[in-house]
Structure 1
Amino acid sequence: MTITGSLDASGRELALTRTVPVPARSLWEHLSRSSLLATWYGTFTGDPATGTVQVTMTAEPGQAVAAEYTIHACDPEHVLTVSSSMGEGTWRLSLELEPATVSDADADADADADPDAMSDAVSDGRRATRIVLRHHDVPREMLAYIGPGWEWYLDRLTGVVTGGDIPGMDVWDSEYMPLSESYAALAE
């Protein structure tokens, strides 16, 4: 497995991508509906229209604790930008959904993705969607952990929406932690 993330020229923004053979509407539902968000990330409570929700990350082991997420931008089926306090700092994240072609999805196809879902997309003419996850002002000293973590979460989202494998913690050490070295090298 190779990393999909890269730092921008300033070295302050980490961007990871996936292209999946589903419409943006389906991906948006998995970002904006708590019951679908729960299938790959966690749940939220509260009314997003207020500008804040309480998010409980449920995919990782350990005691799940709710954290307040502030919603900075919400353009359905296009972009969601949120921030949350993480320890001493604040994490600001954007998920951008962009139109893509099925050939882009074929080129980006993860080994774990369902090949039938990809074939179905080609045969019925559905468009694909490119997901760009941006971690703004990423703490460079944490790239070795943050990068593999976002790879894992994006693979989980991709698996959920394509019907492919949804990686669990059982593959964290063997498949995702080996990416740490490559992510740490981005900061050099």
Structure 2
Amino acid sequence: MSQHATGRAEKRDGTLCIVFERRFRAPIDAVWAAVTEPDRLARWIGRYTGDPTTGTVSFTMSAEGDDVAAEDITITECEPPRHLAVVMPGPEGAPWSLTVDLVEQAGETVLRFAQAMDHPDLASSVGPGWDYYLDRLAAAVSQADVEAISFDDYYPAFAEHYRVAVERGRLA
């Protein structure tokens, strides 16, 4: 588990994002599989159905209880095993743009995850959520107990960090 909030606000191509980084002692193909293959994805966040080559899949979160509806995810860019960009429905119909970039270097794989985010109040829950999910990803890749990670350790403890980071990023 992260002992502190790990994400930061960063402008990418003029868009404010929350950006996270995780390092894995695993080959790039193993980390890519964990974020793109349905069975491996299900271990830490959710499952998709459908054919990704069509550009759209139906995704259901598995770590948020049983009453979560499937949502259509649009795959906007996919360059295995290095880059994935998707758009998914967010609250109140505003789309969420997410990117995953992987680089293999010096025997480890570095994952950089970003979500476009310019709403400080929304960032106060989304930021801790991504710290939680990315720690679950790290546990899944290392074959540790994913269920031992509790969202209560992330929220509300990290909420203010993300609210302030996005507020400052908006003013920069």
Whether the TM-score (by the shorter chain) exceeds 0.5 is: yes
> Aligned match of 2:35 in 31, 39, 47?
31
Query: Compared with structure 1, are the counterparts of its residues 161 and 86 closer, same or farther at alpha carbon in structure 2 (3 Å cutoff)?
Result: same
Residues 43 and 146 of structure 2 are in contact (CA less than 8 Å); yes or no, is this contact kept in structure 1? Answer: no
Unmatched 5+ residue regions in structure 1?
102-126
What are structure 2's unaligned runs of at least 5 residues?
none
SS in 2 for 1:83: strand
The answer to whether the 8 Å contact 1:91/1:138 transfers is no
Identical counterparts, % of pairs: 30
Deviations along 1:88-120, whole A, 9 cap, x unmatched? 21001001111233xxxxxxxxxxxxxxxxxxx
Given the alignment of the two structures, is residue 174 of structure 1 paired with residue 156 of structure 2, yes or no? no
Larger Rg: 1
Q: Is 1:151 matched up with 2:156?
A: no
Give the alignment of 1:10-21 within 5 angstroms: 12-21=16-25
Tell me which protein shows more strand as a share of its residues: 2
Report if the CA contact (8 A) 1:98-1:130 is conserved. yes
Q: TM-score, normalised by structure 2?
A: 0.87
**Are the counterparts in 1 of residues 125 and 155 from structure 2 also a CA contact under 8 Å?**
no
The root-mean-square deviation of aligned C-alpha atoms, in Å, is 1.7
Q: 2:26 aligns with which of 2, 22, 45?
A: 22
Output aligned runs, 1:23-172, within 5 Å: 23-88=27-92, 89-101=94-106, 127-167=107-147, 171-172=150-151
Distance 1:5 1:33, change over 3 A: same
What letter corresponds to residue 40 of structure 2 in structure 1? L
Q: Report the CA distance shift for 1:175/1:85 in structure 2 as closer, same or farther (over 3 A).
A: closer
Q: Say how many residue pairs are matched.
A: 162
Paired position in structure 2 for 1:5: 7
Q: Aligned partners of 2:75 and 2:119: how far apart in 1? A: 21
One-letter identity of the residue aligned with 2:152: D
**CA deviation after TM superposition for structure 1 residue 31, in Å:** 1.6
1:183 aligns with 2:162: yes
Deviating above 6 A after TM superposition, structure 1's stretches of 4 or more consecutive aligned residues are: none
Per the TM alignment, residue 75 of structure 1 is displaced from its structure 2 partner at its CA by 0.6
